[in-house]
Amino acid sequence: MTAIRPLDRSFFARDPRRVARELLGKVLVRLEKDGQPRGLRLTARIVEVEAYLGETDPAAHAAAGRTARNAVLFGPPGYAYVYFIYGNHYCLNVSCEPEGKAGGVLFRALEPLSGVEEMARVRSVTLHSPADLPKLTSGPGRLAEALSITRARDNGCDLTSSKGSLWIGEDGYRARGIRVTPRIGISKAAEKPLRYILAGNPFVSGPKTRFRS
DNA sequence: ATATCGATTATCT
DNA sequence: GATAATCGATATG
Protein backbone atom coordinates (compact mmCIF):
# COMPACT_ATOMS: atom_id res chain seq x y z
CA MET A 1 0.00 0.00 0.00
CA THR A 2 1.96 2.96 -1.24
CA ALA A 3 0.82 6.47 -0.47
CA ILE A 4 -0.15 8.61 -3.45
CA ARG A 5 0.12 12.38 -3.13
CA PRO A 6 -1.53 14.83 -5.53
CA LEU A 7 0.63 16.98 -7.80
CA ASP A 8 0.82 20.70 -7.19
CA ARG A 9 -0.95 23.05 -9.57
CA SER A 10 2.40 24.62 -10.49
CA PHE A 11 3.35 21.26 -12.05
CA PHE A 12 0.78 21.94 -14.77
CA ALA A 13 1.44 25.68 -15.19
CA ARG A 14 4.15 24.97 -17.79
CA ASP A 15 4.69 24.09 -21.42
CA PRO A 16 2.63 20.96 -22.28
CA ARG A 17 5.75 19.25 -23.63
CA ARG A 18 7.42 19.48 -20.24
CA VAL A 19 4.26 18.44 -18.41
CA ALA A 20 3.73 15.49 -20.76
CA ARG A 21 7.24 14.15 -20.25
CA GLU A 22 7.02 14.49 -16.49
CA LEU A 23 3.56 12.92 -16.28
CA LEU A 24 5.00 9.57 -17.40
CA GLY A 25 5.13 7.30 -14.36
CA LYS A 26 2.61 9.35 -12.39
CA VAL A 27 -0.70 7.84 -11.27
CA LEU A 28 -4.27 8.61 -12.28
CA VAL A 29 -6.71 8.00 -9.43
CA ARG A 30 -10.45 7.48 -9.68
CA LEU A 31 -12.60 7.16 -6.57
CA GLU A 32 -16.04 5.68 -7.06
CA LYS A 33 -18.68 6.04 -4.39
CA ASP A 34 -20.06 2.56 -4.49
CA GLY A 35 -21.57 2.29 -1.01
CA GLN A 36 -18.45 0.81 0.55
CA PRO A 37 -17.13 2.71 3.60
CA ARG A 38 -14.03 3.88 1.70
CA GLY A 39 -15.45 3.74 -1.78
CA LEU A 40 -13.70 1.95 -4.59
CA ARG A 41 -10.33 3.34 -5.67
CA LEU A 42 -9.10 2.69 -9.20
CA THR A 43 -5.48 3.59 -9.90
CA ALA A 44 -3.33 3.33 -13.02
CA ARG A 45 0.15 4.47 -14.01
CA ILE A 46 0.53 6.92 -16.89
CA VAL A 47 2.59 5.30 -19.68
CA GLU A 48 1.64 7.29 -22.82
CA VAL A 49 0.64 10.94 -23.30
CA GLU A 50 0.60 13.57 -26.03
CA ALA A 51 1.25 17.29 -25.78
CA TYR A 52 -1.13 19.71 -27.49
CA LEU A 53 0.20 23.23 -27.66
CA GLY A 54 -1.93 26.33 -27.75
CA GLU A 55 -3.41 28.29 -30.62
CA THR A 56 -0.17 27.85 -32.59
CA ASP A 57 -0.69 24.06 -32.84
CA PRO A 58 -2.89 23.19 -35.85
CA ALA A 59 -3.76 19.79 -34.36
CA ALA A 60 -4.89 21.22 -31.02
CA HIS A 61 -8.52 21.84 -30.16
CA ALA A 62 -7.39 25.29 -29.07
CA ALA A 63 -6.18 26.11 -32.60
CA ALA A 64 -9.31 28.04 -33.62
CA GLY A 65 -9.45 30.01 -30.39
CA ARG A 66 -11.64 29.71 -27.36
CA THR A 67 -15.07 28.06 -27.76
CA ALA A 68 -17.60 26.60 -25.37
CA ARG A 69 -16.11 23.16 -25.90
CA ASN A 70 -12.42 23.93 -25.35
CA ALA A 71 -12.77 26.64 -22.68
CA VAL A 72 -11.00 24.53 -20.04
CA LEU A 73 -7.82 24.55 -22.14
CA PHE A 74 -7.70 28.35 -21.79
CA GLY A 75 -8.46 28.29 -18.06
CA PRO A 76 -6.20 27.62 -15.07
CA PRO A 77 -3.81 24.63 -15.13
CA GLY A 78 -4.53 21.22 -13.65
CA TYR A 79 -8.15 20.84 -14.75
CA ALA A 80 -9.77 18.07 -16.78
CA TYR A 81 -10.65 18.76 -20.41
CA VAL A 82 -12.89 15.92 -21.60
CA TYR A 83 -14.20 15.79 -25.15
CA PHE A 84 -16.44 13.39 -27.07
CA ILE A 85 -15.17 12.07 -30.38
CA TYR A 86 -16.36 9.91 -33.29
CA GLY A 87 -19.79 9.67 -31.73
CA ASN A 88 -18.47 6.95 -29.43
CA HIS A 89 -15.61 7.85 -27.15
CA TYR A 90 -14.45 10.27 -24.49
CA CYS A 91 -10.85 11.43 -24.15
CA LEU A 92 -9.19 12.97 -21.10
CA ASN A 93 -6.72 15.86 -21.07
CA VAL A 94 -5.28 18.04 -18.35
CA SER A 95 -5.01 21.78 -18.90
CA CYS A 96 -1.51 23.26 -18.91
CA GLU A 97 0.08 26.73 -18.98
CA PRO A 98 -0.95 29.64 -16.76
CA GLU A 99 -4.55 30.82 -17.00
CA GLY A 100 -5.29 32.59 -20.27
CA LYS A 101 -2.83 30.56 -22.34
CA ALA A 102 -4.12 27.37 -23.96
CA GLY A 103 -2.37 24.04 -23.74
CA GLY A 104 -3.02 20.48 -22.66
CA VAL A 105 -1.85 16.91 -22.38
CA LEU A 106 -3.91 13.98 -23.70
CA PHE A 107 -3.85 10.73 -21.71
CA ARG A 108 -3.32 7.92 -24.22
CA ALA A 109 -2.53 4.83 -22.14
CA LEU A 110 -2.36 3.64 -18.54
CA GLU A 111 -1.08 0.58 -16.71
CA PRO A 112 -3.72 -0.56 -14.19
CA LEU A 113 -2.51 -0.79 -10.58
CA SER A 114 -5.74 -1.35 -8.66
CA GLY A 115 -9.39 -1.86 -9.46
CA VAL A 116 -8.70 -4.12 -12.43
CA GLU A 117 -11.90 -6.10 -11.92
CA GLU A 118 -14.01 -2.93 -11.98
CA MET A 119 -12.23 -1.69 -15.12
CA ALA A 120 -12.91 -5.01 -16.82
CA ARG A 121 -16.56 -4.82 -15.80
CA VAL A 122 -17.20 -1.33 -17.18
CA ARG A 123 -15.22 -2.13 -20.33
CA SER A 124 -17.10 -5.42 -20.84
CA VAL A 125 -13.79 -7.23 -21.14
CA THR A 126 -13.33 -10.81 -19.95
CA LEU A 127 -9.81 -11.38 -18.66
CA HIS A 128 -8.63 -14.80 -19.81
CA SER A 129 -4.95 -14.09 -19.31
CA PRO A 130 -2.59 -11.23 -18.43
CA ALA A 131 -2.34 -10.63 -22.18
CA ASP A 132 -5.89 -9.25 -22.08
CA LEU A 133 -5.07 -6.46 -19.62
CA PRO A 134 -4.08 -3.86 -22.25
CA LYS A 135 -7.63 -4.00 -23.61
CA LEU A 136 -8.65 -2.16 -20.47
CA THR A 137 -6.57 1.02 -20.69
CA SER A 138 -4.40 0.97 -23.83
CA GLY A 139 -5.80 3.85 -25.89
CA PRO A 140 -7.44 7.18 -24.98
CA GLY A 141 -11.02 6.00 -25.49
CA ARG A 142 -10.39 2.78 -23.62
CA LEU A 143 -8.85 4.38 -20.55
CA ALA A 144 -11.65 6.91 -20.34
CA GLU A 145 -14.21 4.14 -20.40
CA ALA A 146 -12.26 2.05 -17.86
CA LEU A 147 -12.38 4.94 -15.40
CA SER A 148 -15.95 5.94 -16.31
CA ILE A 149 -14.80 9.36 -17.48
CA THR A 150 -17.42 11.44 -19.32
CA ARG A 151 -17.68 15.08 -20.29
CA ALA A 152 -20.82 15.58 -18.19
CA ARG A 153 -19.18 14.14 -15.10
CA ASP A 154 -15.57 15.24 -15.35
CA ASN A 155 -15.01 18.18 -17.70
CA GLY A 156 -13.66 21.11 -15.68
CA CYS A 157 -12.83 19.05 -12.58
CA ASP A 158 -9.72 19.89 -10.57
CA LEU A 159 -7.17 17.10 -11.07
CA THR A 160 -4.85 18.41 -8.33
CA SER A 161 -7.23 17.73 -5.45
CA SER A 162 -7.32 14.32 -3.81
CA LYS A 163 -10.72 15.33 -2.45
CA GLY A 164 -12.17 15.03 -5.94
CA SER A 165 -13.12 11.73 -7.53
CA LEU A 166 -10.51 12.07 -10.31
CA TRP A 167 -6.97 13.31 -9.69
CA ILE A 168 -3.31 12.85 -10.57
CA GLY A 169 -0.68 11.82 -8.05
CA GLU A 170 2.80 10.48 -7.60
CA ASP A 171 3.89 7.46 -5.60
CA GLY A 172 7.67 7.69 -5.84
CA TYR A 173 7.95 5.66 -9.05
CA ARG A 174 10.72 6.86 -11.37
CA ALA A 175 9.98 6.68 -15.07
CA ARG A 176 12.59 4.87 -17.20
CA GLY A 177 12.99 4.61 -20.95
CA ILE A 178 11.11 7.71 -22.04
CA ARG A 179 10.81 8.02 -25.82
CA VAL A 180 9.29 10.72 -28.01
CA THR A 181 7.42 9.96 -31.26
CA PRO A 182 4.93 11.66 -33.60
CA ARG A 183 1.37 11.98 -32.33
CA ILE A 184 -1.25 9.40 -33.34
CA GLY A 185 -4.53 9.81 -35.19
CA ILE A 186 -4.10 13.39 -36.39
CA SER A 187 -3.70 14.80 -39.89
CA LYS A 188 -2.42 18.31 -39.15
CA ALA A 189 1.12 18.76 -37.81
CA ALA A 190 1.32 14.97 -37.74
CA GLU A 191 5.10 14.95 -38.00
CA LYS A 192 5.83 16.83 -34.80
CA PRO A 193 7.35 14.61 -32.07
CA LEU A 194 4.95 15.31 -29.22
CA ARG A 195 3.95 11.82 -28.06
CA TYR A 196 5.73 10.60 -24.95
CA ILE A 197 5.86 6.91 -24.02
CA LEU A 198 7.55 4.52 -21.63
CA ALA A 199 9.29 2.39 -24.25
CA GLY A 200 8.57 -1.31 -23.96
CA ASN A 201 5.66 -0.92 -21.57
CA PRO A 202 3.00 -3.39 -22.79
CA PHE A 203 0.19 -0.91 -22.15
CA VAL A 204 1.43 1.68 -24.65
CA SER A 205 -1.06 1.90 -27.53
CA GLY A 206 -0.41 1.40 -31.21
CA PRO A 207 1.76 -1.10 -33.11
CA LYS A 208 4.46 -2.69 -31.00
CA THR A 209 7.89 -1.49 -31.97
CA ARG A 210 10.85 -3.79 -31.71
CA PHE A 211 13.81 -3.03 -29.58
CA ARG A 212 17.18 -2.49 -31.19
CA SER A 213 20.59 -2.28 -29.61
C1' DA B 1 1.04 -8.79 -38.81
C1' DT B 2 -1.18 -4.84 -41.49
C1' DA B 3 -5.28 -2.88 -43.83
C1' DT B 4 -9.86 -1.33 -44.25
C1' DC B 5 -14.30 -0.12 -42.63
C1' DG B 6 -18.61 1.06 -39.98
C1' DA B 7 -20.47 3.08 -35.86
C1' DT B 8 -22.53 7.45 -34.10
C1' DT B 9 -22.87 12.49 -32.50
C1' DA B 10 -21.06 17.07 -30.67
C1' DT B 11 -19.06 20.67 -32.79
C1' DC B 12 -17.88 23.81 -36.22
C1' DT B 13 -18.08 25.79 -41.30
C1' DG C 1 -23.15 19.12 -44.26
C1' DA C 2 -18.47 17.51 -42.97
C1' DT C 3 -15.41 16.38 -39.70
C1' DA C 4 -13.08 14.01 -35.80
C1' DA C 5 -6.77 13.67 -30.51
C1' DT C 6 -11.11 6.12 -31.65
C1' DC C 7 -12.39 1.35 -31.30
C1' DG C 8 -13.60 -3.25 -32.55
C1' DA C 9 -14.54 -6.31 -36.13
C1' DT C 10 -13.36 -8.37 -40.37
C1' DA C 11 -10.39 -9.60 -44.18
C1' DT C 12 -6.09 -10.93 -45.95
C1' DG C 13 -0.81 -12.20 -45.99
Q: How confident is the model at residue A209 (pLDDT cuts 50, 70, 90)?
A: low
Distance from residue A207's CA to nucleotide C11's C1', rounded to whole Å: 19
Q: How confident is the model at residue A23 (pLDDT cuts 50, 70, 90)?
A: very high
Average pLDDT estimate for A163-177:
97
Distance from residue A162's CA to nucleotide B6's C1', rounded to whole Å: 40
Give strand pairing partners of A198: A178
Q: Look over chain A and give the mean of its residue pLDDT values, rounded to a whole number.
A: 95
Amino acid A61: pLDDT: 98
Residue with CA nearest to B6's C1' atom: A86
Which nucleotides of strand C lie within 7 A of protein CB? 4-8
Amino acid A180: pLDDT: 97
Amino acid A33: pLDDT: 86
CB atoms within 10 A of CB A59: 17
End-to-end CA distance of chain A: 36
CB-based contact A104:A16 (threshold 8 Å): yes
Domains of chain A: 5-198 (3.10.300.10)
Calculate what percentage of chain A has a pLDDT beyond 70: 97
Q: What backbone torsions phi and psi does residue A106 show, to the nearest 5 degrees?
A: -90, 130
